[in-house]
Structure 1
Amino acid sequence: MGKNKGLVAVYGATGHTGAFVVAELLRRGLPVVAVGRDMSRIPAGVSARIATLDDATALDGAFADCSVVINCAGPFLDTASPIIEAALRVGSAYLDVTAEQASARSTFERYDEHARAKGLAIIPAAGFYGGLADLLASALVGQHTVDDMTVAIALDHWWSTKGTRTTGERNSVPRVVVTDGRLVPMTMPATKTAWTFDAPHGVQAMEEMPFSEIITIAHHLRVRNLRAYLNTSALDEVRAQATPQPMAVDKHGRSAQTFAIEVIVNDRAGARRAVARGQDIYAVTAPLVAEAAARMRQPSFARSGTLSLGEAFDAEDFLRSFGPEHLMFELRAA
């Protein structure tokens, strides 16, 4: 089993999100190895291995003694398959942080049987997009069917990284939502609405913008109708070529960006809401995947197959494991 090997590999460790993940794993005292094409920017003291996506032998060698492989290198439509396949060959569990619906959907569909046969867990979309909303939804929902679920995200700014822009240009696959229990193409033009968040975000103009949370939630929760919205001002920023990249403002390297994410469900138990707030959507991905990796390395972790974060772990316990410096979380009536 991969969990007995020890190391945690981070592919794409020199990227913006990957650097946060490496730092968080080190902070937790987990043994880290950075893997990628160019290791010249790896921090001193971090082991590094060169492996390109088109070199299966090098990937196998890089992951051979790793319990978990964390893929932070997008676009995931290009990177997920070769890294997952290498992880499966050598017996390592896998996590990635994709916001791309098509990549997450492909991982769930293509690798479940192989991962089960190997006794390994494969968890796509375990970051801010995909993973966090899935955890919030899972903390709200039991085993019964949910009639309606809405995910609403507010960012006071979206200072996008080069990787985000590259992924956006690469990802031309039509976005999907859940209608009558099925994944269907989102109706265009996108629906617009308004949403009232807690301060400091307040009332926000919103636009329907589903990311990988649609795929992660629909993978394991019974939801008849599922929609996701992002505030229009954040979308305007990420779409503008002149918007700058994020700049560090604290000792952790985080930008000043703040976020709020809410999930509201309506079912036979009534309406209720899960809320998470924090700083820097790229940085908050690090504690999410680091916590998942730490739990996956434990001998008691026995899940296998393709899973979402909320499916693999007790969602409320997982969310409450974070201190307020990483993530503030609460459940409340809608």
Structure 2
Amino acid sequence: MKENIAIYGAYGHTGKFIVSELYRQGYKNIVLSGRDEEKLKLLQKQYPDATIKPADIHDAASLDNAFSNAKIIVNCAGPYLDTAEPIIKSALRLGSHYIDLTAEQKPVLDIFEQFSEQARKDQILIIPAAAFYGGLGDLLSTAITNDWNETEEINIYIGLDSWHPTKGTRLTGERNHYKRLIFKDKLLQEFEAKPVIKWDFKNPIGVKEIIALPLSEIITISRHLNVKNINTYLSQNSLEELRNENTPEPKPVDDKNRSSQQFAIEVTASNQNTTRSITAKGQDIYAVTAPLVVEAINRILSGRINKTGVTTMGEVFEASDFLESLNADDITISSVTESVNI
């Protein structure tokens, strides 16, 4: 029986958070995978019940061997422009479900284009962008528009008090040379820069200058919600830190190994008569990906899914229920507020 959860890139920064959360929730049949066997052995010392299986994305046989008994494969190894395709092909050969964490738009587009037909035919779940960027915005957007037939506009405002990027984040940025896309008038269109504006994220982030920066949630949301326009904004201070080569990597400050970074995401949605908003706040954008992914795993294994094939966090799960299930120590979700448009 396939009962293992395989984590590719398990020794990476976010991969370690996911492995830790799986063990915290009682999972024991875990396969730790990645290219570097020595790093896998070091990680296994913390989780002696886990199995290590080195694999390389350029060696299909090694991937199939690593994932051979995996019910679900979680790909934590960017850049996903390079890793998503070979690992998904392995998942399809083996009949395993697949989840990844990409914030990049191009891999998500490629996954939908290349694998939708086969995944649907084989009843395999493929969920790209299941992380802080991509998945969380998709869940929040779906939760506040699920009873609307049509939405005029969704805006996602992301505020970070700081951003100390990992090596993986920097490598992904260097690799991703594709033009960003926005969703305007129900079409994906090439992004054009917008003026800097200010947004009040309230405590603990406060007022920040924000700039338009479309990420993977533009793609995921537009795949399943009937919406005319989607925009994503990011606090400018965090982008400046990301682009500064002297910004250090994140350092742990608590017993969950989270950094001190605070985040807030506010999503607003409007139709002809109403505007709604919802906010998510928490600590460490890398760490919060772990409870999102593990809750997705919980729901897949218990059959609480809306479809199979290539899909998104907001489409495959009941979004409001998913958000309500998350532990407040990981992330706090506000009540939905609503106002009438005059």
- TM-score normalised over the length of structure 2: 0.94
**Alpha carbons 1:64, 1:91 under 8 Å: kept:** no
Query: Aligned partners of 1:302, 1:260: CA distance in 2, in Å?
Result: 28
Query: Aligned partners of 1:296, 1:198: CA distance in 2, in Å?
Result: 35
SS at 1:282's partner residue?
Answer: coil
Match of 2:35 among 37, 60, 79: 37
**Alpha carbons 1:16, 1:161 under 8 Å: kept:** yes
1:92-146: CA deviations, max 9, x gaps? 0000000000011111221111101111110000000000000000001125111
Distance 1:18 1:267, change over 3 A: same
What's the CA shift for 1:298? 2.1
Match of 2:122 in 1: 118
**Alpha carbons 2:306, 2:317 under 8 Å: kept:** no
The reply on whether 1:168 has 2:168 as its aligned counterpart is no
**Alpha carbons 1:14, 1:39 under 8 Å: kept:** no
Query: Aligned partners of 1:234, 1:97: CA distance in 2, in Å?
Result: 20
What's the CA shift for 1:209? 0.8
Unaligned runs of 5+ in 1: none
Match of 2:9 among 3, 12, 29: 12
Match of 1:312 among 316, 320, 324: 316
Unaligned runs of 5+ in 2: none
Higher RCO (Cα < 8 Å, 6 or more apart): 1
- Once structures 1 and 2 are overlaid, which stretch shifts more, 176-185 or 324-333? 324-333
Amino acid at match of 1:110: Q
**Alpha carbons 2:21, 2:291 under 8 Å: kept:** yes
What's the CA shift for 1:28? 1.0
Match of 1:194 in 2: 198
Match of 1:155 in 2: 160
Distance 1:216 1:300, change over 3 A: closer
Give 1:58-207 correspondences, 5 Å limit. Answer: 58-142=62-146, 143-188=148-193, 190-207=194-211
What's the CA shift for 1:57? 1.1
What's the CA shift for 1:16? 0.3
Match of 2:287 in 1: 283
**Alpha carbons 1:124, 1:308 under 8 Å: kept:** yes
Query: Aligned partners of 2:83, 2:210: CA distance in 1, in Å?
Result: 31
- Once structures 1 and 2 are overlaid, which stretch shifts more, 99-108 or 89-98? 99-108
Query: Aligned partners of 1:261, 1:209: CA distance in 2, in Å?
Result: 14
Query: Aligned partners of 1:119, 1:180: CA distance in 2, in Å?
Result: 32
Distance 1:223 1:296, change over 3 A: same
SS at 2:169's partner residue?
Answer: helix
Match of 1:328 in 2: 332
SS at 2:73's partner residue?
Answer: strand
Give the total of aligned pairs: 330
SS at 1:218's partner residue?
Answer: helix
**Alpha carbons 1:115, 1:306 under 8 Å: kept:** yes
SS at 2:38's partner residue?
Answer: coil
Q: Percent identity at matched positions?
A: 44
Amino acid at match of 2:159: A
**Alpha carbons 2:44, 2:52 under 8 Å: kept:** no
